[in-house]
Structure formats: C-alpha cells, structure tokens
C-alpha cells in the first residue's frame, strides 16, 4: 500500500468540484461541493447517532436504502437542521438539482450540509448556481481541493488522503476527504466524510468494511463532547479498477478493509489535530484491557476529560486526572495495577506505577508534553486488548470560537 495524490479524485472514474454560491452572508469561500461518478456505484453510509437529525441526513438515508449512488452534493455555511418540512423540501431539491445536471435519478444523489443549526437553507442560492457547480467538476487534484474547501467551516487545515494497493493483480485506489473541527465526539465524530474507491465490492461487504473502519477511527475521536445533527460518512465504489468482484470475506476483502481503516484513521487523527482552538494532538493509547470494547471505553473517558485536556494544554503532568477519568468510565479494572506514561518526540516518562506516584522530573515531563503531538499511554495489566483514541487539548480559543460562532 502506498500514498497517492488526488483525494476523492484519485480513484478512476470520479470527478469533483466546488464553488461559492453565497449560502452564508458575508462569506466568500467556496460553499457548495459535488462529487460525481461516471458510472453507478455500490454505496454504503453511516449517519449521526443524535436523535435530532438534520434534513440532509434523513434524505440521504432514504436514498442510500437502494445501496446505489452516482453523486454527493454538499454545502457548508448552513446545517439545514431543525428546519422542519421546508428543510426536508430543500434537501430533496438539492438532490433533484444535481440529478438534473447529469440526467440521473434524484435517488442516486446523497445530500450533506454543515454549518449553523436552525436557520433555513437559502435554496435559491443553490438553484442559481447548480449549473456552475456541475461545470466545475474535474477528475484531478484541483477538483478534489475545490470540493474539500467547499465543505470546510471552522476547519483550519485541509484533511484528505488517498492510498493505492493491489488486489487480485489490479491496482485499486481509495480516496477520502473529511471536514470536522468542533462539535466532535463519538459516535461518530461531528463530520462530513466522503470516500471513493474504484474497487469492485458487493454492497454487503462495502458496508461491513465501512463499519469496521469507522469503529476504529471516527468513533474514537473526541474534541469537545458534542455529537452533531449532521454527521455523515459515505463511501462509493464504482468498480473501475477491474478487480474481480469482492463478494465474500477472504484475502481480497481483508486487504481492502485494512486499507480503508488506515485511510480513515489518518483522517480521524487529522480531525483531532484540527480541533477548534487546539494546540496539540493527544493520543490515548490504552493497553492490557480484558476486551477491545473495554479498552475503547476507558481510552475515550481519558481523551474526553476536560481536566485532562486542559492539563495537556498547560503541559502539566497531572496524571491523577487520567486515573480519575478511568475510574468513572464504567468499566471494571484494577487501579492498583495501572501504570501511566506521557510520551512524545521529546521522550517518555513514567508518572504512575500501580496506581501510585513515582519520582519523575517535572521539567522533563513538561518538555515532553509541550510537543505538538503527545501520547498518554496506559497499561492496565488486566488482559491483552488495546485501543487508541484521538483528541486534543482544551485551549482559551475554543471558547472564543464557539462564543460567537453564529456571527
């Protein structure tokens, strides 16, 4: 497996683009994106677990019921959430508009939105710009970049990746883009994520691979403890690589599923690093749990703790907050067997052994915790299972950003 350029346009047969159409007053950034496949795609998706679901989520769930897609249209600047029947009508209209440009069915188009909740979507702006959007799509990195910019909101970094691997003697590519910076907490992290592949898979196995990848990536990211109304991840597979259809678990499926997981982990880490106001990427690496579910739950508790996050911002080796978070996670473990380490490119320091303090250099620990990427490594000595969860520190800027988000 190797990295390639082009994001969602790296796989054969996909085009993408993005334009400005004026969805959010006062903004001139691109705000309307389109991803299109020249051929029908097998598709799978996962959506927010929030009981309050945005109109595009409801419409896309309806359209994904067939397991087939040709396109995704997405906007930023307005979430089209909590907007009632007019919001549903607007989401359906977005699909109709995109479908009309390519003479396909509206049910073959997924819809996604991100931005402010509770504000009617200015569908007229999209109607007047849909032809320009269709004309903008390209099968190269520039098309991918334009689409990616169009779905960003408070993101400060572009988050995308693409990989190439060989399956059955054929070169297969998987590409993805994600937006997400705040309102991020499992399950899933608050995000819009679109993944394309030229592999040929059955719908059942595509869905299985997606769920496995999401569980070990986007469901292990936390920034601020809030789960959005609009979370969406969609994967489309058009079969253009020419590999034999992957219709059963085996070597080919294993290779694809592993590559998809690697891609999603990269995107998830990038989201955590770009957390609103974040100065550090924090990886919680928990080992020695009785099972993977228990390991994940414990690691999430640590990564989501506001006190742990604040300590990371201050480069304060306050390991007691780590043990405290483990203790309220609702998972049985033995604190008296628990060890805690802080690590980064500057080194590693043991700060807790057997649930108790050990002598360590505060100066060394501060140097370790002052790096851009830091790790909290926890050894439970209670089993063989492990899990990694990604988060970030909690800075003053998080409050500044969210104190005036609507303006």
In angstroms, what CA-CA distances link 331 with 7, 299, 326, 335, 375? 39, 11, 8, 11, 22
Domain final residue, candidates 211, 241, 273: 273
Residues 153, 109 share a domain: yes
Exposed/middle/buried for residue 279 (C-beta within 10 Å: 0-12, 13-18, 19+): middle
Residues 137, 96 share a domain: yes
Q: Which domain holds residue 116?
A: 2-273
User: How many Å apart are CA 171 and CA 164, to the nearest integer?
Assistant: 7
Mean pLDDT over 89-108 rounds to 98
Residues 232, 110 share a domain: yes
Which has more confidence, 189 or 342? 342
pTM, 2 dp: 0.82
Q: How many residues are given for the chain?
A: 407
Residue 196 has pLDDT above 70, yes or no: yes
pLDDT band at 187 (very low <50, low <70, confident <90, very high): low
Q: Which of 29-38, 41-50, 340-349, 396-405 has the lowest mean pLDDT?
A: 396-405
User: How many Å apart are CA 152 and CA 157, to the nearest integer?
Assistant: 9
CB contact at 8 A, 391 and 374: no
Q: What CATH number is given to the structural domain containing 381?
A: 3.10.20.340
Residues 259, 127 share a domain: yes
Q: How many helices (H) and strands (E) does the chain have?
A: 12, 15
Q: Alpha-carbon torsion 377, 382, 384, 385, what sign?
A: negative
User: How many Å apart are CA 29 and CA 77, to the nearest integer?
Assistant: 10
Residues 37, 146 share a domain: yes
What average pLDDT does the chain have?
A: 92
Which has the closest alpha carbon to 167: 242, 261, 248? Answer: 242
Exposed/middle/buried for residue 2 (C-beta within 10 Å: 0-12, 13-18, 19+): exposed
In angstroms, what CA-CA distances link 295 with 203, 207, 262, 308? 30, 24, 20, 18
Residues 222, 98 share a domain: yes
The neighbour count for residue 262, using CB atoms within 10 Å, is: 18
Bridge partners, residue 19, by sequence: 32
Looking at the 3D structure of the chain, how many domains does it have? 2
Residues 40, 24 share a domain: yes
Q: What CATH number is given to the structural domain containing 159?
A: 3.60.70.12
**Out of 83, 153, 154, 190, which one is annotated catalytic?**
190
Residues 266, 287 share a domain: no
- 338 flagged as catalytic: no
Q: What is the pLDDT of residue 186?
A: 47
Tens digit of each residue's pLDDT (9 = 90 or more) over 281-321: 899 999 999 999 999 999 999 998 989 999 999 999 999 99
Residues 186, 160 share a domain: yes
pLDDT band at 219 (very low <50, low <70, confident <90, very high): confident
Q: What is the pLDDT of residue 27?
A: 83
Residues 173, 193 share a domain: yes
Domain final residue, candidates 273, 299, 317: 273
Structure tokens at 216: 């070990």
Residues 247, 292 share a domain: no
Q: What is the pLDDT of residue 287?
A: 98
Exposed/middle/buried for residue 202 (C-beta within 10 Å: 0-12, 13-18, 19+): middle
Mean pLDDT over 136-164 rounds to 93
Domain final residue, candidates 241, 273, 305: 273
Residues 178, 324 share a domain: no
Question: Pairing state of beta strands 32-47 and 14-19?
Answer: antiparallel
User: How many Å apart are CA 401 and CA 209, to the nearest integer?
Assistant: 35
User: How many Å apart are CA 368 and CA 346, to the nearest integer?
Assistant: 5
Question: Pairing state of beta strands 281-289 and 339-344?
Answer: unpaired
Classified as helix, coil or strand, 392 is strand
**Percent over 90 (pLDDT), the chain:** 80
Mean pLDDT over 16-31 rounds to 92
CB contact at 8 A, 189 and 47: no
User: How many Å apart are CA 189 and CA 160, to the nearest integer?
Assistant: 16
């Amino acid at each position: 497996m190797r990295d390639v350029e082009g994001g969602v346009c790296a796989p054969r047969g996909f085009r993408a683009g993005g334009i400005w159409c004026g969805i959010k007053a006062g903004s001139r950034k691109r705000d309307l994106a389109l991803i299109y496949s020249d051929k029908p795609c097998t598709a799978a998706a996962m959506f927010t677990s929030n009981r309050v679901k945005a109109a595009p989520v409801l419409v896309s769930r309806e359209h994904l019921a067939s397991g087939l897609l040709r396109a995704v249209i997405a906007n930023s600047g307005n979430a089209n959430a909590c907007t009632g029947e007019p919001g549903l009508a607007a989401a359906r209209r977005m699909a109709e508009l995109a479908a009309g440009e390519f003479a396909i069915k509206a049910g073959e188009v997924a819809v996604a939105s991100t931005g402010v909740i509770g504000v009617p979507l200015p569908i007229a702006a999209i109607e007047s710009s849909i032809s320009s959007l269709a004309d903008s799509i390209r099968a190269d990195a520039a098309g991918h970049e334009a689409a990616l910019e169009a779905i960003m909101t408070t993101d400060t970094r572009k988050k995308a990746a693409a990989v190439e691997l060989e399956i059955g003697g054929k070169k297969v590519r998987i590409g993805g883009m994600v937006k997400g910076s705040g309102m991020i907490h499992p399950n899933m992290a608050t995000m819009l994520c679109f993944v394309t592949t030229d592999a040929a898979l059955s719908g059942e196995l595509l869905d299985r691979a997606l769920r496995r990848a999401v569980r070990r990536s986007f469901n292990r990211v936390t920034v601020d403890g809030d789960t959005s109304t609009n979370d969406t991840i969609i994967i489309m597979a058009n079969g253009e690589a020419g590999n034999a259809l992957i219709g059963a678990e085996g070597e080919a499926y294993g290779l694809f599923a592993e590559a998809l997981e690697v891609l999603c982990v990269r995107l998830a880490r990038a989201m955590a690093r770009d957390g609103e106001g974040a100065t550090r990427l924090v990886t919680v690496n928990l080992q020695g749990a009785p099972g993977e579910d228990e390991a994940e739950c414990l690691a999430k508790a640590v990564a989501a703790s506001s006190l742990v996050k604040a300590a990371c911002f201050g480069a304060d080796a306050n390991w007691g907050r780590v043990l405290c978070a483990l203790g309220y996670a609702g998972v049985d473990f033995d604190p008296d067997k628990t060890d805690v380490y802080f690590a980064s490119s500057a080194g590693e320091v043991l700060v807790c052994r057997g649930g108790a303090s050990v002598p360590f250099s505060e100066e060394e620990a501060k140097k370790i915790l002052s790096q851009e990427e830091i790790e909290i490594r926890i050894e439970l000595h209670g089993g063989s299972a492990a899990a990694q969860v990604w988060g970030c520190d909690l800075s003053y800027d998080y409050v500044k950003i969210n104190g005036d988000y609507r303006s």
